[in-house]
Every structure is written in structure tokens, then in C-alpha cells.
Amino acid sequence: MAIREAPPGWLVWVRHVPAIGPNESLQPLKRLLQDRYRSVPPAIPGGQFTIEEQIAGERLQITLIGSREPMAPARWGGGGAVAFRDDTSEVVANAIEGKRRQARGAARPVLIALCTNGWGVPEVEQFDSALLGHVIRSESGALRFDPVGAFGPVPAGKDPTFAGALIFANLGMLGGPDPILYLHPRFRGTLPAAITGLRQRYATADGVQEVDGIRTGLLATLGWPDAQ
């Protein structure tokens, strides 16, 4: 997209792009690029023009370098040519949907436990998006939180299937970080102090907030093996 929308005569050096989730539209980014590219002067061989913006708190930085062919179509000039797509958000959302039917007959409250492992440490923001939602920018430029996650709005008067989720991020044979408790925004019951004392993340009108846990080292308490 950064190259297709660029004016002729420039080499496009993609230095930093915002993290865009699998359920988020690319149109705001496309419109921003189209708008910024309209202010780019005609290409001069060796000349440079940098575009740097913030999109919902994420950095966009693109440097244009003038090629030797001022009228030639824009071409890739550097930066990420291949990207890894983190599908944690989709996997988590699908796992929750698959467990709803099993949990409907269980004694309340019900917590769903999910873990991920493998290629690096998944970004917590991916779990935020899957469970709670994400910040979006309106056409006026204002930011607001859109609660479109699996723990999104529940019909009035109806209790959510799950009171919350225990997320074990990057749990492997040698342990991992302490679990994170995501409480369902519509859950009105109580949970044991042993659970609520964990690190928590929850949604507000302004975005996802965090409460530090007073219970740490849970995996060691459970006797989970570590590198020692």
C-alpha cells in the first residue's frame, strides 16, 4: 500500500508502520497516505522527503528518496519487504467461541484458561483486541475505544457465559510469565481473592487499563519446571 499510493519518481523506504489487527480496516491508513502523498514535491534524484505520523498511538514513518527516473512509478527502496502476521487475536477469539457451548451448563462463575507458546512472546495487545476490543480513530480524528472483542456487549439482563479469562502468555516447558486475568465487563459476581490478586487488564471508555498483581510467582508455586 505504501508503494502503490506513492507519487512517481520516488523510492519508498518503509521505516515503521502501525500494528493493525486482523479485524481492523486498512482504509484509515490508506486515506492518510493518500493525503500525505499529495503534499510531496516532485522527485529530484537523491532528494529526500519523510512522512511521520501517529495513528491511534502507533508510529508511521516513511522516507521517500528521489530516483534517477523522476517519472517512473514509485518503487520499494528499503524497509520491511516481508512481514510476520501475528494471528493471536483471531486464535483467542475462536477458542472462546468454541468453548461457549461447553460452559453454558457449568456452575457459575466460569473462567476460561488460554495459553500460547512458540514464536516469541505474544504481544499483550493482541489479547486486549481479542477479548475486549481496540482503540479506533473517528473521521474527526478523535480516539475512542470500540468494545468489539469476545467479551463485548452482552444483552441487558443476561449474564455473560464467562466471568473472565486467565491468559498464560508464552507458557512452555520452562514456565513463562504470570497469568493475566481479564474480567468480563458485564460480570457482576465475585471471584476468590486468589484469582483477583493476579495481574488484571480491563476495558474503559478510553482503552485498556491494567492493575498490577499482588500474587506473583504462581507457576513456581505450582511446581512448574524452570531453566534451573
- Cβ atoms of residues 224 and 179 within 8 Å: no
Query: How confident is the model over 158-189, as pLDDT tens digits?
Result: 778 888 999 887 776 667 788 899 988 888 88
pLDDT value at residue 24:
63
The C-alpha cell 518503509 sits at 14
Average pLDDT over residues 201-212: 86
Query: How confident is the model over 108-150, as pLDDT tens digits?
Result: 889 988 877 644 445 677 788 888 887 776 667 677 788 888 8
Q: Provide the CB-side half-sphere exposure for 96 (13 A, CA).
A: 26
DSSP H helical segments within the chain, as ranges? 27-37, 88-103, 124-131, 193-196, 218-221
Average pLDDT over residues 62-86: 73
Average pLDDT over residues 91-113: 80
pLDDT value at residue 83:
45
Q: Phi and psi of 70, rounded to 5°?
A: -60, -25
pLDDT value at residue 88:
65
Show the CA angle centred on residue 84, arms to residues 82 and 90, nearest 5°.
Answer: 145
Closest by CA position to 182, among listed 161, 204, 154, 203? 203
The torsion region of residue 74 among left (phi > 0), alpha (psi -120 to 50) and beta comes to beta
- Cβ atoms of residues 28 and 137 within 8 Å: yes
Average pLDDT over residues 201-217: 86
- pLDDT at position 21 over 90: no
pLDDT value at residue 85:
47
Q: Which residue has the higher pLDDT, 89 or 44?
A: 44
- Mention every residue, 6+ apart, whose C-beta is less than 8 A from residue 176: 117, 168, 169, 170, 219
pLDDT value at residue 191:
92
Average pLDDT over residues 52-78: 81
How far apart are the C-alpha atoms of 104 and 33, rounded to whole Å? 46
User: How high is the mean pLDDT of the chain?
Assistant: 79
Average pLDDT over residues 206-222: 84
DSSP label of 173: T
As given in the structure block, the three cell numbers for residue 114 are: 488460554
Report the range of poorest mean pLDDT among 30-34, 115-119, 203-207, 218-222.
Answer: 115-119
How far apart are the C-alpha atoms of 168 and 175, rounded to whole Å? 10
Q: Angle between the 88-103 and 124-131 helix axes, to the nearest 10 degrees? A: 50
